[in-house]
Amino acid sequence: MNAAIPVLTAQNLVVEYRQHRAVDNLNLQIPKGCVYALLGGNGAGKSTTISTFLTFNRPSSGQVLIEGESPHANAELVRAKLAYLPENVALYDVMSGLENLTYFCTLANIRLSNDQAHALLLDSGLQADAHQKRVAAYSKGMRQKVGLAIASAKQAKAMLLDEPTSGLDPSAANDFAQRIRAAADRGMAVLMATHDLFNAKQVADRIGIMKNGRLVEEFDAHTVQHDELEQKYLAHARGLA
């Protein structure tokens, strides 16, 4: 694999639902090891962008690429190279965290021993005494950890996160941010849709603000100040920018 090819690319991406243009000419490149945070209000096009990489939507024009290949032409790319964590990690309530992890991994053609499964859950921050409990009793943060364990097991090239810290308490959000950062440091590309400015600034390398489907502004997360980011974000949200 050529290191110069970004892991995730959106080229002139347009996604339309009936008369509504949800994503409008989006261009984006996320290389290996980079966390890219997409900020924006409801309906800005963040989730639609993520859904398009996952092939839940088809582009109306333009394209998305995973390591230079279109997932819409080769559906296997999604299974092999992407990990997905929605706002509420969807798991089967009647099964334990361990069973959920094993089930999803088996469907992704990953065979885990019992020890490996426990180790993955522990690495993701889920306490050992919770592994065998049914997910119905899990908090949102615990579910996120099972989702992270699935993503880790997949050894995916990129992780797509849709509002991952929404509803988490500050401690859990901080813990989650650290684990995302660690994953990126191991070489994973991360695309994260979020409302959470603090979280974006804390974990991301680059930050983009979307409005009405367009990427209206981009920042280097390491250099932009929190106040500046907040003012820009609010200005776009209020239609002042």
Partner 1 sequence: MIKTIVRKEFLATLRDGRLLTLGMALLVLFAGFFLASAYELQQLRAEKHSVGTTAKEQWNTQSVKNPHAAAHYGIYVFKQDTPVAALDPGLRPYTGQSLWMEPHKRNLTRFSPAADQVLAGRFGEASTSFVLTALLPLMIVALTFNSVSQERESGTLRMLHSLGVDAGQLLFGKLLGLMAAFFVVLAPALLLAAVILLGNFAFTLDDALRLLVLMLLLNLYYGIFAALAIAASAYFSTSRTTLFCLLAFWLVSVFIAPRLGAVGAEMLAPNPSASEFWREIKDDIEHGLEHDGDHEQRAKAFEAQLLAQYGVSRKEDLPVGFVSLSRQHNDAYSVKVHALHFDALRDNFIRQQHLSHLGSWLGPSLALRSLSMTLAGMDLAHQRHFEDAAEQYRQYFINLTEDWDRERSRGTERKAIGEEADWRSVADFSYQAPGIGFALRTAELDLLVLLLWLSLSIGMLSFSARRLAP
Which residues bind to partner 1, rule: CB under 8 A? 54-56, 75-76, 78-80, 82-84, 86, 88-92, 94-95, 99, 103-104, 106-109
Q: CB of 224: closest distance to partner 1 in angstroms?
A: 31
Q: CB of 201: closest distance to partner 1 in angstroms?
A: 27
> Which of 21, 134 has the CB closer to partner 1?
134
Print the SS3 string covering the chain: CCCCCCCEEEEEEEEEECCEEEEEEEEEEECCCCEEEEECCCCCCHHHHHHHHCCCCCCCEEEEEECCECCCCCCHHHHHHEEEECCCCCCCCCCEHHHHHHHHHHHCCCCCCHHHHHHHHHHCCCCHHHCCCEHHHCCHHHHHHHHHHHHHHHCCCEEEEECCCCCCCHHHHHHHHHHHHHHHHCCCEEEEEECCHHHHHHHCCEEEEEECCEEEEEEECCCCCHHHHHHHHHHHHHCCC
> Which of 55, 70 has the CB closer to partner 1?
55
> Which of 136, 182 has the CB closer to partner 1?
136
> Which of 154, 232 has the CB closer to partner 1?
154
Q: CB of 85: closest distance to partner 1 in angstroms?
A: 9
Q: CB of 78: closest distance to partner 1 in angstroms?
A: 6
